[in-house]
Amino acid sequence: MKINSIQITGMKYILPVFILLLAGCSAKKTRSITMQENSEKMEKVYKSDEEWKEILTPMQYYVMREQGTERPFTGKYFDFYESGHYECIACSNVLFDSDTKFESGCGWPSFHTAYSNKNIVLKRDTSHGMIRTEVLCAMCDAHLGHVFEDGPPPTGLRYCMNSAALNFVPDEK
């Protein structure tokens, strides 16, 4: 039996069904947070777990290497507003400028813009029964926190970072 020149028996009906499913998926709202691969190569930092444990505190290791998080309102930088920039504490990669930091009420340092999209990597995170966007350091692959779409202008993003992953460098006076 033939319908529209597509034979129902065998595997020939799979392609049209697949195309219809894709068309339905593409009609869904797309996220404004774009997952990216860094087009420019950065000098990567590679260390063994033992080496990371030697340079990071237990909390830093838990957050940055085991994708943990510090408790809200306990981090060094959640209520800190000096002028300067924030680096990855593991490799000194510049991550955020203090001018982009804002009070989000979430209990973690929050920024609306990354220093450069080349310095971070965004990755889909489906842990803990949620779908989120994880933020990683582009140089050492350290977990920094997550980014959400509920931030202020100009980006509408909230980079919610762990203080344990950051080092603040004040502006020179």
**132 neighbors 123 (Cβ within 8 angstroms):** no
Active site residues: 160
C-alpha 133/C-alpha 163 separation (Å) is 18
Query: Which of 96, 89, 128 lies closest to 113 in space, CA to CA?
Result: 96
Q: How far apart are CA 43 and CA 141, in angstroms?
A: 12
Rounded CA separation 102/80 (Å): 10
- The tens-digit pLDDT sequence of the chain (173 residues) is 444 444 444 444 433 433 333 333 333 333 344 444 444 556 899 999 999 999 999 999 999 999 999 999 999 999 999 999 999 999 999 999 999 999 999 999 999 999 999 999 999 999 989 999 999 999 999 999 999 999 999 999 999 999 999 999 999 87
Q: How much is the pTM?
A: 0.76
Domains of the chain and any CATH numbers: 33-170 (2.170.150.20)
